[in-house]
Amino acid sequence: MRKTVLTFGLISGVIISLFMIGTIPFHDQIGFDRGLVVGYAGMFAAFLLVYFGVRSYRDNVAGGSVKFGRAFAVGALIAIISSVMYSATWQVIWFGGFMPDFAAKYQAHVIESARADGATQQELDKTAAQQKKMWEMYQNPLFNFGLTLIEPLPVGLLVALISAAIVSRRRRTEGVMAGVG
């Protein structure tokens, strides 16, 4: 199990990390709203490796049959490895200064979105204060890592759940498929 989990987890992690790195130069063109769609699409694409990893485990390690619990465990571990790599990549980007104006631009976006939604000045001031506090906490590497980790991990676990449900179904025997069984 270890080899399958590491292989597919690392491949998925490289894909998700390269996708993040590859979109940084286009961040201003993509924008924050579309960035969510683009980012989660990239995560989903990387998490397709969860399905292939679970299937590979079933076919190559478990002898062609795997129970749901084991299939989910394999998929979840692949998703965790990939998500940790995603978060580690963001730490390098964030603390390495590759996006020095990200926080200021994001704060401005949040406040402008609230203004466009009709927020009062008092609500805007409260939003600005919340943003300031959040970005101060974001300077703590553990907080930053944890907050970043919860972006991809739920998607990966959902894909692991679906993959386990699909892959753990028993295969039909040839006799059953031919109508004999």
**Domains of the chain: total:** 1
Q: Which domain holds residue 101?
A: 2-170
Q: Which pLDDT tens digit goes with each residue over 95-118? A: 998 888 888 888 888 999 999 989
46 pLDDT higher than 60: yes
178 found inside a domain: no
96 found inside a domain: yes
181 found inside a domain: no
Residue 164: predicted pLDDT: 96
176 found inside a domain: no
- The mean pLDDT of 61-72, rounded to a whole number, is 93
177 found inside a domain: no
126 found inside a domain: yes
Quote the pTM value.
0.85
Is the separation of the CB atoms in 50 and 159 below 8 Å? yes
44 found inside a domain: yes
pLDDT band at residue 157, thresholds of 50, 70 and 90? Answer: very high
For the chain, how are helix, strand and coil distributed in percent, rounded to 5? 80, 0, 20
Is the separation of the CB atoms in 72 and 164 below 8 Å? yes
| Percentage of residues of the chain with pLDDT beyond 70 | 93
9 found inside a domain: yes
